[in-house]
A and B are shown apart, each in its own frame.
Chain A
Amino acid sequence: MRYCFCAILLLIAGCRYSANNPDPNDTVLYSAHSAKVRGLDPGDVGDTTSAIVASQMIECLYQYHYLKRPYQVVPCLAESMPAMSGDGLVYTIKIKKGVRFYDDACFKDGKGRELKAGDFVFAWKRIADIKYLSKNWWIFDNKIIGLDEFRQYSKTCKTAADVDYNTPVEGLQTPDDWTLIIKLKGRPWPQIVDLLAHLPTAPMAKEAVDYYGKDIINHPVGTGPYKLKRWHKGSYIEMVKNPTFRDEFYPSEGEPNDIKNGLLADAGKKLPLTNRLVSVLIQENPPLWFLFLQGKIDVSGIPKDNFSEAIDLRQQLTPEMKARNIKLFTFRDPSTYWFGFNMEDEVLGKNLPLRMALSCAVDRDKYIELFTNNRGEPAYGFIPPLMSSYNPDIKNIAQTSYNVQKARKLVKEAEQIYGSKLPTLTLAMPGTDIVFRQEGDFLKRCFKDAGLDVEMDYMDWPTFQNKIKTKSAQMFTLGWIGDIPDVENFLQLFYSKNISPGSNNFNYSNPEFDKIYEKASIMPDSPEREALYRKAEEIVVKDCPAVFLVHGVAFILTHDWAYNVKPHAFAYGTAKYRRVDEAKKAAYSELLRTLK
């Protein structure tokens, strides 16, 4: 028994990563994640943490330019930007020659083979395969000629093994190994380029799927700058430089301030700039924060509980952080949070003054202060401020700013429409823990001040989702984080053909909006499309199907030995650009001693 105990201790000790780096030439970047890494199979990645980790090893046809803003898509595995036919229905993409999958046991002799256009076709058919149950079918749903038919065909197969991936799909053709032709189903799809920079569209080697089977979620096989070395579930993931990585260089252009901020010092250097990446996986925030303060994590977010320790009232670093040479980066998230109304609800759906009263009753500034540590901007529409189609005038258009007097007046109007005193409304919250309950207490109070009785219904996530899908939630708290810079991603949430169980949880329907959406969503990026997006948002905010609460602002802290840190709202595979100064890192423990 004692030996058994010792063995367990040794195992645990073996699982711990060491932040002391004995080799000065070996550079290591330590990052931390507080959510689980669910799996590293790109076709089925559905959560941010898994996507961040997998993106260091797996690449897509396109990627975002690391430094340029507004966000710009540039070729990655593709040779150049896609060639589009005149009607916008056929895309021809040339793939870089000589790109190799990294060495893995799944390939012949363990040597990674060259990437071919067929690997993309295989990966996308796999997402279409109903037996594979990918979370990412929404990307290709009703877009490419023959792919939906392939999905139907996979439905008829008895088992997953029966699905024949050699079944041709008309819309996905590979005239040679380096050319990919995508034919669309009669409707242009301008978002395709952004989506081809999205991890689920990454190529997949058939050998890897055959070799690992279901275990593929633990064995990413990509073409990226890093390859997986070790993954101790729930402890850490270690990635090492991929020796066969193609020639990719640090960008030499960026924003005007980038030279001043030292972000172009490494211009033209071969990527990646760091030898190893270690992602520490700890679900509790306090230990993560202490590891960061001790210098054992190089880049970190700020846990809610430690916010006042790191950031002062002017939203600047506190003297304690400055003394540690810690740097702060803030950037706008492509996110909007709201509580939505079920427009099919008897009470809410037909009562615009009531919906507006609820919106006017919420003190957004106080909400942001209490629940986000001021890491947010008040929202009055759904398009986040970092998007080019954001309308700075949306607050005046919506007419739903915090105003208790106005809310009370609107409640009286609402009562007249309803015919009697308004009944108690119910707001569904997707969690039962104290954070949700405090939020509920706050909102309840806001509504009460306006003379509205609202009850909170706290529930777990599956119950919540079920309520929304079955249209049985009267009001619900939710949000959306944009996957791509195209605002169509947000607009589709209000399109009448997407109502529940689709993504339009509001069950909102407005023919005028639908018309604009249908027109704008197939237009290429242009000032004209932007104007249409704004018009569509205007229609929505005037109908008030939701109380738009807050747009997220993210805060990132780094130690001074981590270079080339520039937060990016959409790109995940950015560790290859980062550089670590090990000498500076080694001096940090000395600095900590003097600070004590």
Chain B
Amino acid sequence: MFWNLPFIAVVALSLIGLATVVTKKNLIKIFLGINIFEAAVNLFLISLGYRDGGIAPIFTSAPSTEMVMATPQALTLTSIVIGVATSALLLSFAVIIWKKYGTIDTDQIRRLRE
């Protein structure tokens, strides 16, 4: 049970994130929801990297050659970087929407439909 805690947190965080995206009307809050979902995915990846009794893959100070693969850490790092780029682009969209429409309420951002 205890070892499943990170995965329970992953499920909880992704549900919170998705619920925020679906229910909130404010663009910034929607972006925060996406960020929470991203955090959940990152937590999922990093929890997969945990191996009971494994040691960090640092060759110089390792007591034995039995080391944990560093792949999930590398994945998480890449995913975080992509997440930053995503957030930056989304926020810049919000800036333009605010300038052009004068609102960031999704109910008002519906000019395409007309």
Q: Do A and B come from one complex?
A: no
Taking Cβ atoms with an 8 Å cutoff, the residues of A that contact B are: none
